Structure 1
């Protein structure tokens, strides 16, 4: 969109800024003499933290350079003359006693569009934004219900698309946990990467169950991701919850350790098979035979395959494992679970 009042000969005109505005289909005017007294500093249009805007030492350098004839690009404002970009340039002009400043006036911007433009302008021309500031921008957009284009955000901010995707998933997880009534004590103990992994759970019931389990057992992100994937692949909600319940059974020692104030031991070896076996022993014979007619043949083939594999597993376990009988206490606990 071409500017209506552009003065291409003016030294404050910036082809880079104009290209950026056109790429976003933003209508704008170039005004060489905006009255500084009319410019407003309104919250919601910029992402940079207030304490990081216009550092004093940089204002001094800009002011001195301006006095010696240095030319700087025009600042950027919305059509209410609220700041979007150019805090240091503006403050330097004020320090020098100037009453006007060249500016691009952008029309019809929403606060989110203004913040997005502010990020890109700062990353391209000014002092690069901190990761905290960029994260606040991404979080704010997600909480407003925006659907992020991760590649565009990565290009605009310089943050990897993997990290931005993780930020988005974590923010969505926290919002979802709030809606689902999950207690803060369960949310707060989870590291960001685990929160991001848990957000992938499709069903609300599974999301609640697996989040509570991850918090109580301190499940690492990589392992939480595997459990979520298995639950998502389950053909029904009940079977998905069975997978989570089996995982809880397999992690009882870890849950008890955490509950007693200790870190869980790293005993994750073979937990995948323990999880599936734990799920199977929850079913009675009649439960396993309760299969829709159209799926009976397929299920029968799978059961035969499982039977053959279990026969091999039992044979090798008899040869390779230490099968010393468990104590009475342990044996009783297993009997209670399998009855």
Structure 2
């Protein structure tokens, strides 16, 4: 076995069903650096300090693992080793020459090999690869790439969802500049929206009111569960109405003031979608607990309604008894 041959590299190529040949003396001048084949950012390829160290070790007789190139002699992995050979004015280098691999397959291979040779990739480089894969319509196995890169699968999945969100937003005509402040977690939450109208309106709400990802997830979950598009849109409309003061403050250049009622408003909106029979559909072993909770909830709501009559300007608003009537239930749902 040639001293530059790498069992580790060969096992990775074999696992990907990549056809290759080992060339112990590939001419240095044939190798090309083509943008798009490597996952590492250009400024991070072949760091000078590493090239200097490799070149010195090579002059002392050290044998390094073979680099990896495509059958067009475009480098996939081994920039520092290649540059060190050039520094030493070497004419050849050992290389694995891979056949019939696309630019995306080359970048994918580069991800795995870069984590075992030289410096590990930065999060920025890994994310750039993820973005490119999504843009090309590929489905990323986040668990597999988590093992390769050391980045948590959940984080990779969030990056994938964020890029799908960006593509979807672009298709729906949402301005990229307006979306720049949305966190990845918020983008991932919004991307789950089933209806495009809900997606657009919820995204606009997220930008206008700077809605946290946790709240967006609740809004989207409720909208997705709605029996009709009109009711799904109404979920977002109610969420916007509940944040009207925040939206005005943010539009005026002020930070929104957190209100304790934000979370409860979402839960109340959810409860209003249920009928009495729905609330009573409880397994026998949970009925006592459910009764206690509903009793406590009724006490809280009775107290809140009584205080609201005193503190809020509700002179022209229907009484509690009128709101309880079947004819006015649609009004309570809208509010």
The change in CA–CA distance for 1:36 and 1:316 in structure 2 (over 3 A counts) is: closer
The structure-2 alpha-carbon separation of the partners of 1:276 and 1:19, relative to structure 1 and needing over 3 Å to count, comes to: closer
Computed over aligned residues only, the root mean square deviation of the Cα atoms, in angstroms, reads 2.7
Extract unaligned runs of 5+ from structure 2: 282-290, 320-329
> 1:258 and 1:41, CA in 2 relative to 1: closer, same or farther beyond 3 A?
same
Deviation of residue 94 (structure 1)? 1.0
Q: 1:322 aligns with which of 300, 304, 307?
A: 307
1:45–1:111 contact (8 Å) kept in structure 2? yes
1:75 alignment partner, one of 46, 58, 67? 67
Q: Could you say which residue in structure 1 is the equivalent of 2:47?
A: 55
Cross-structure match for 1:256: 248
Following the alignment from structure 2 to structure 1, what is the Cα–Cα distance between the partners of residues 302 and 129? 59
Q: Does the C-alpha gap of structure 1 residues 183 and 64 become closer, same or farther in structure 2, counting only changes over 3 Å?
A: closer
Matched, 1:275 2:251: no
- Per-residue deviation at 1:182? 1.7
Q: Assess if the C-alpha contact under 8 Å between 2:55 and 2:88 holds in 1.
A: yes
Per-residue CA deviation, residues 127-171 of structure 1 (Å, 9 max, x unaligned), is 101110000000000011111111111112111001000001111
Q: 1:323 to 1:203 in 2, by over 3 A?
A: closer
Secondary structure of the equivalent of 1:101?
strand
Q: Secondary structure at the match of 2:310?
A: coil
Question: Please, what TM-score do these two structures have when normalized by structure 1?
Answer: 0.83
- What's the CA shift for 1:183? 3.0
Q: Give 3-state SS (helix, strand or coil) of 2:25's partner.
A: strand
Are the equivalent residues in 1 in contact too, given 2:69–2:97 (CA < 8 A)?
A: yes
Q: What is the CA deviation profile of residues 163-221 of structure 1, one whole-angstrom value per residue up to 9, with x for unaligned ones?
A: 00000111111110010112335412322221111111111111011111111111001
Q: How much has 1:304 moved relative to structure 2?
A: 8.7
Query: Aligned partners of 1:222 and 1:274: how far apart in 2?
Result: 16
Q: Are 1:266 and 2:258 counterparts?
A: yes
Question: Conserved in 2, the CA contact under 8 Å of 1:247 and 1:275?
Answer: no
Contact 1:198 1:210 in 2 (8 A): yes
Listed as ranges, the gaps of 5+ residues in structure 1 are 1-7, 281-297
Q: Does 1:19 align with 2:19?
A: no
Please give the secondary structure, in 2, of the residue aligned with 1:124: coil
> Does residue 1:164 correspond to 2:156, yes or no?
yes
Q: Alpha carbons of 1:59 and 1:326: their partners in 2 closer, same or farther (altered >3 Å)?
A: same
The question of 1:245 aligning with 2:237 is answered yes
Deviation at 1:299, TM superposition (A): 6.3
Alignment partner, residue 289 of structure 1: none
Aligned-partner Cα distance in 2 for 1:190–1:18: 42
Bigger mean CA deviation after superposition, 236-245 or 316-325 = 316-325
| d(CA) in 2 for partners of 1:155, 1:310 | 47
TM-score under structure 2 length normalisation: 0.84
Report the counterpart of residue 182 of structure 1 in structure 2. 174
Aligned twin of 1:301: 277
CA distance change for structure 1 residues 90 and 319 in 2, over 3 Å: closer, same or farther? closer
CA distance in 2, matches of 1:211, 1:231: 13
Q: Cα 1:192–1:319, aligned 2, differ >3 Å: closer, same or farther? A: closer
How many residue pairs match? The answer is 309
* C-alpha contact (below 8 Å) 1:42/1:83 kept by paired residues: yes
Q: Does 1:197 align with 2:197?
A: no
